[in-house]
Structure 1
Amino acid sequence: MTAIDREAVIDRAAGALMGAFIGDALALGPHWYYDLDELRARYSEWIDGYTTPMPDHYHAGMKAGESSQAGVLLRLTLESLAERGGYDEADFCRRLDEDFFPQLDGSPMQGPGGYTSQSIREAWRKRVQQGLPWGQVGGNADTTEAAERTLAIAVRYALDPAALADAVTRNTVLTQTDGTVVAMTVAFGAVLGMLVEGHTLDASISAKLMARVKTGALPFHTVTSGNLQAPKAGSAEAPTAGRFPSPDALLTQSSIARAARDPDVRIEPAWKASLVYGMPCAVYHQFPAAYYLAAHFADDFESAVLHAVNGGGQNLARAMLTGALVGAQVGLKGIPRRFVDGLADHAALLALAGRVSPR
């Protein structure tokens, strides 16, 4: 890579990481309001910045601009990556055992960040209460919790898709073992890595991902030839056998990006993507909405994350994932300074992000 290319990659990597922290913190106050009338009544018709959680709601007692537990775990992952120079599973697990798990008691409304999610509670129970070894504490939660922390791994290995897929897979199955969830999480990481690399979230993204499947860089199984056509009879082309049974988790992005840019397909206002794709926590709601907003507002970080937040429901995951995707497209330079300055401990997070860049 040239010096200019390298500088651009570093900027996009920092943009992805800070975008995730910003999206997480923006949704801290208005998190998990499924009644949109209540959300508007308690906050405003349009939330445009950091807010303080209500005393009777999730994250009560926390301050505007602080990170939820998703942000806390993202930071823990980043710190491990920075200090070890890459993904070191033993170091990551040690940090959970020694620094993070002692702060939990197994209940939801407790722990750093104000709320402990399902997969983390399950891992804590198996690891701390039952004494099971790592590798036996994962559960079947169908949420984006692993994607929220492994996005840091995807950024670190953006220039090495095979290493990215391997590390994201291994980290994900520590806490979530459902095959579909793991496949969709790895696919999200692969997309984020491509955006950091310099690609665009557009109609061509899936073909680029599939090309990496063909070379064996991404561990997805496929028996099709180019453009998903059937192999010709007698063809010497061998099917690609991967960890994941089909490449479908890599194909939805192009369709969603095409829809986001098609003037005949309209979701207006864009925050209603949460109603179209679903407001709950599961991966099959969250990833499509994040892809849509990131493609629709590919060069507008502020609009992307604010529409993610104002869609209600599990807007924290939606805004965090969207912030990473759009941050990777616009770079740190494209994120409005007010979002950076309003983020709690932003100087330390910026410094940390600068230590975890692709190489």
Structure 2
Amino acid sequence: MKPQDLNNRAAGALMGAFIGDALGLGPHWYYNLADLRRDYGEWISDYTAPKPGRYHDGCKAGELSQAGYILKLVLQSLVTQGGYDEDDFCRRMDEDLFPRLDGTPVSGPGAYTSQSIREAWRRRVQGNLPWGQTAGHADTTEAIERTLAIAVRYALQPRRLATAVSSNAALTQCDDTVLSMTVAYGAVLALLVQGHVLDKHISAKLMRLVQSEDLPFHAVTRDDLQPPRPGDPDPPRAGRFASPDALLTPSYMAAAVEDPGIQIEPAWKVSLVYGMPCAIYHQLPAAYYLAARFAQDFESAVLHAVNGGGQNQARAILTGALVGAQVGLGGIPKRFLDGLEDSTALLRLAVELGGQVVQDDT
């Protein structure tokens, strides 16, 4: 693959995530869509500031939320260390984030701290526990929102990707299903950075990585999910995750896009089909659907993610990364880059990390 294309897709994934985060800052967590339309009109098309008394009150249009702030910490660590260094990441959390928190929801960068980070703060700061004993039971996407940078870094090294993503995610979330879905998202993103498309064939590519033991999921089926034959041995476990189902989800979402008998119109109503709440099992199907439907249309993908309401910020982060990887940095409208706070510094970090991915390919 051409180095410039690989770098372009890697940087596109990262900037797509930052843009999705900032787009969701203003209209975040409206579960009553009538209220969302009242406050922001029929269609949100750009960065907006939060309304007084709402989530992220006091932040400005184009700023990052705390999710974006933590993603930036991961990106800085990856760039300076040349790869994933858990000690360095944890040090940054201890020194750069935790001193700005107080354990309550309305605190810290972005004026809101998610459940999994609050729980980690309590264990680490109040409980004085070591990292590794800081995870809680949140069933949300916060781990994906930061480990997507790790997935980009190891886009050409699936084993290292799975090890690093699962290790980092386990610092704040301990549920094995959440961890498996987090690693699966990273594996999907890696294929898109390589140049694959999020279509109905992507899960077959992921399952081949399972069969080669490059991804740590257990599976007993043969190619194309065919049943095992009499006498076939139980395959050796490549890792901790008992089921490959998290790897199968994206192909089903892409197949729904391609099926003329299935219509979600307008596309923002994907939030109503798969659910508006924060849980990972609501967020991922919607993000996969939008990223498959608008594989070459970054603007439509992220704006439909935002206009669906509910936990639209996470939906836009996940969708933005997936589509940003498919269209590359050059496919992201300039106005989204121009309106993003600290865009120049973020772009420099994204391109530098993309350069590390290119080095893996040489």
Among candidates 82, 90, 115, match of residue 85 of structure 1 = 82
Contact 1:214 1:240 in 2 (8 A): no
What CA distance in whole angstroms lies between the structure 2 residues aligned with 1:44 and 1:27?
15
In 2, Cα distance between equivalents of 1:53 and 1:225: 50
Structure-2 residue corresponding to 1:188: 185
Aligned partner letter, 2:198: L
Aligned to 1:256: 253
**Aligned match of 1:143:** 140
Shift of 1:240: 4.3
Q: What's 2:287 paired with?
A: 290
Partner Cα separation in structure 2 for residue 237 and residue 319 of structure 1 = 39
Equivalent residues of 2:220, 2:228 under 8 A apart: yes
1:190-226 CA deviation, whole Å, 9 max, x = no partner?
Answer: 0000000111100100000000000010000111111
Counterpart among 338, 342, 348 of residue 341 in structure 1: 338
1:345–1:221 Cα change, 3 Å: same
- Which SS does the other structure have where 1:191 is aligned? helix
Q: 1:277·1:286 contact (CA, 8 Å) conserved in 2? A: yes
Residues 223 and 240 in structure 1, CA contact (< 8 A), matched pair in contact too: no
Q: What residue identity is the alignment partner of 2:24?
A: A
Which residue number in structure 1 is paired with residue 270 of structure 2?
273
Corresponding residue for residue 8 of structure 1: 5
How many residues are paired up?
Answer: 356
Offset at 1:328? 0.3
Match of 2:198 in 1: 201
| 1:28 corresponds to | 25
Q: State the secondary structure of the residue aligned to 1:53.
A: coil
* Equivalent position SS for 1:113: helix
1:72 to 52, 69, 72: 69
Q: Once the 2 structures are TM-superposed, how far is the Cα of residue 242 of structure 1 from its aligned partner?
A: 2.6
Which range is displaced more, 326-335 or 254-263? 254-263
- Alignment match, 1:311: 308
Please state if 1:53 is matched with 2:53: no
> Offset of 1:233 from its aligned partner?
1.5
Structure 2: how far apart are the matches of 1:227 and 1:349? Answer: 40
- For residues 238 and 17 of structure 1, what CA distance do their matches in structure 2 show? 36
Cα 1:241–1:77 change in 2 (3 A) is closer
| Structure 1 equivalent of residue 174 of structure 2 | 177
Alpha-carbon contact 2:219-2:235 (below 8 Å) kept: no
Name the CA distance, whole Å, in 2 between partners of 1:96 and 1:310. Answer: 32
- Residue 241 of structure 1: how far off its partner (Å): 4.5
Contact 1:231/1:237 (CA < 8 Å) preserved in 2?
A: no
Structure 2: gaps of 5 or more residues:
none
Amino acid at match of 1:340: L
Provide the residue aligned with 1:105 in structure 2.
102
Distance in 2 (CA, whole Å) between partners of 1:98 and 1:239 is 41
Separation in 2 of the partners of 1:74 and 1:176?
Answer: 16
Shift in Å, 1:236: 6.1
SS in 2 for 1:74: helix
Where does residue 39 of structure 2 map in the other structure? 42
- Runs of 4+ off more than 2 Å: 234-242
What is the rounded CA distance, in whole Å, between the counterparts of 1:32 and 1:83 in structure 2?
Answer: 34
Q: In structure 1, how many angstroms separate the alpha carbons of the residues matched to 2:234 and 2:133?
A: 38
Q: Distance in 2 between the 1:196 and 1:42 partners?
A: 36
Q: How does 1:195-234 map to 2 (within 5 A)?
A: 195-234=192-231
The one-character-per-residue Cα deviations of 1:220-263 (angstroms, maximum 9, x if unpaired) are 01111111111112346835443100100100111110101222
Q: Could you list the per-position Cα deviations for residues 296-330 of structure 1 after superposition, in whole angstroms to 9, with x for gaps in the alignment?
A: 00000000000000000000000000000000000
1:355 aligned residue: 352
CA distance in 1, matches of 2:271, 2:338: 28
Q: Distance in 2 between matches of 1:318 and 1:249?
A: 17
The CA distance in 2 between the partners of 1:26 and 1:355, in whole Å, is: 24
* TM-score calculated relative to the size of structure 1: 0.98
Q: 1:115 aligns with which of 109, 112, 133?
A: 112
Moved more, 222-231 or 334-343: 222-231
Q: Letter of the 1:161 partner, please give it.
A: P
Paired residues of 2:46 and 2:336 also in contact (CA < 8 A)? yes
Once residues 313 and 347 of structure 1 are traced to their aligned partners in structure 2, the CA distance between those partners, rounded to angstroms, is 30
1:238 match: secondary structure: coil
Task: Provide the rounded CA distance (Å) in 1 between the counterparts of 2:129 and 2:113.
Answer: 20
1:312-358 deviations in Å (ceiling 9; x for gaps): 00000000000000000000000000000000010000001011121
Q: Is the 8 A contact 2:210 2:238 kept in 1?
A: no
Per the normalisation by structure 2, the TM-score is 0.97
Maintained 8 Å contact 2:12/2:330: yes
CA RMSD, Structure 1 to Structure 2 (Å): 0.9
Q: Aligned equivalents of 1:201 and 1:30: distance in 2? A: 27
